[in-house]
Amino acid sequence: MTEPASMPHNRRETGCPYRPNPDLVKLHEDEVLPRVPVPNSQLGEIDAVLVTRADDARAVLSDPRYEVGFAFDRDWSGPRSVMNQPGVLLNYDGEEHTRYRRMQAGAFTMKRIRALTGVIEQVVDDHLDAVQNAGPGVDLIEAFASPLPLIVICELLGAPAEDRDGILRRSAIASNVDTTLEVQQENFGAMIGYMAELVAAHRLQPGDNILGDLVRDHGGKLSDDELIGMGLDVLVAGHGTLSGMIGLSVLTLLRHPEQLPVLHDDSLTGSAIEELLRLLAVAPPLVRKASTDLTVNGQEVGAGEHVVVSTLMANHGADLPRAGELDLCRKPVPHLAFGYGPHQCVGQQLARLELKTALSRLFRRFPALQLAVPFESIEYRTDGLVFGVQRLPVRW
């Protein structure tokens, strides 16, 4: 079994894919905030102050003086990357960020999300049919957790079905922290080229989807480059994280079958999803950079220094009883699964809907679902920004 560990902010306890690693817990308990290396395929390894306490995390993520990622290092004239692409929300702060976010948020209204409910249910049911036909055993990551959010993204972007394999391959490379800068730039160039074709098609005839909405409502104010960046935002952010959540949620629920009835109670499903989001904390690191000399919990952070927020450790803070245990009946508590502050995930309500639909329908269809291999042999993703299960062999 590969150690369920990823980057320092996301390291897990050996043998348990959701509890923080003891070394991370020890760092959390230290009075002095540690400095840790953070791998980055664009910039190489960077040093950052590790923030693990929920209150400190919220203070950092809500303070505009801690700027997102590397926004002020950008150079639009240089080789393009996710950190150097107009329209990508994580490249902006302040008024610029607010402007782009309002445009993108308009495409994630509750009205549009409700309109997608039937589409998501149909996609889930179609994949469950395929899983059943392929049975009595499959790799649930390949057959369900990975393709489901990809198809929803294609619906959101108006991408043809025949393009899905290419989108999946490019998305996987983009989220891999072990690749070289050259590989990332080549891959991102291909992603830009593909998204440019979609933008051009929507310029001619805006579809009933996010890109179509952006062109119709804001096309006169946005360049093609900006629309490409917004489309890439949806593509990259909307696939890996949700795929990781579905896979790790299924594994966790199979280890706690006594709690599965909660998923069948509509009055409790929402709370159950919040508990899974809090407990599993699969999201990529939340990196900020101090624009001036600042402090975190009384500790100095110099101008230009990076800070990385451990959402996993913050979600498992000592102020929450039994924080390291799954309790689907737990009253929802604040968590950082979607970030916090002005850069909180704009598509979080859609993610909740997809996760709820996928899990509830999966376990209704396959009440006898179980692991097809020993739990100890499960391998985890340790090369990606998002923590998750590499393969999930199941049978029923």
Closest CA to 44 of 66, 73, 20, 87: 73
Instruction: Give me the pLDDT at residue 362, please.
Output: 97
Alpha carbon distance 315, 331 (integer Å): 14
Contacts of 148 (CB under 8 A, 6+ apart): 123, 124, 127, 242, 243, 246, 354, 358
Alpha carbon distance 347, 109 (integer Å): 9
Contacts of 156 (CB under 8 A, 6+ apart): 107, 209, 210, 211, 234, 238
* Residues 80-286+319-391, CATH architecture: Orthogonal Bundle (1.10)
Instruction: Give me the pLDDT at residue 64, please.
Output: 94
Instruction: Give me the pLDDT at residue 69, please.
Output: 56
Every domain of the chain and the residues it spans? 80-286+319-391
One-letter amino acid at 74 equals R
Cα Dmax for the chain: 60
What are the pLDDT tens digits along the chain (396 aa)?
A: 444 444 556 889 989 999 999 999 999 999 899 998 887 666 668 899 999 999 999 999 999 999 985 544 566 776 777 777 899 998 899 999 999 999 988 778 888 888 889 999 999 999 999 999 998 999 999 999 999 998 988 888 888 888 888 888 887 787 676 777 788 788 888 999 999 999 999 999 999 888 999 999 999 999 999 999 999 988 877 888 999 999 999 999 999 999 999 998 988 899 999 999 999 999 877 999 999 999 999 999 999 999 999 999 999 986 788 999 999 999 999 999 999 999 999 999 999 999 999 999 999 999 999 999 999 999 998 766 789 999 999 999
Instruction: Give me the pLDDT at residue 239, please.
Output: 84
Instruction: Give me the pLDDT at residue 46, please.
Output: 84
Q: From the centroid of its chain, how far is CA 309?
A: 14
Contacts of 121 (CB under 8 A, 6+ apart): 357, 361
Instruction: Give me the pLDDT at residue 5, please.
Output: 40
The tokens for 380 are 């985890």
Main-chain dihedrals φ then ψ at residue 268, nearest 5 degrees: -115, -10
Alpha carbon distance 268, 259 (integer Å): 11
Q: Record the pTM.
A: 0.91
Instruction: Give me the pLDDT at residue 7, please.
Output: 58
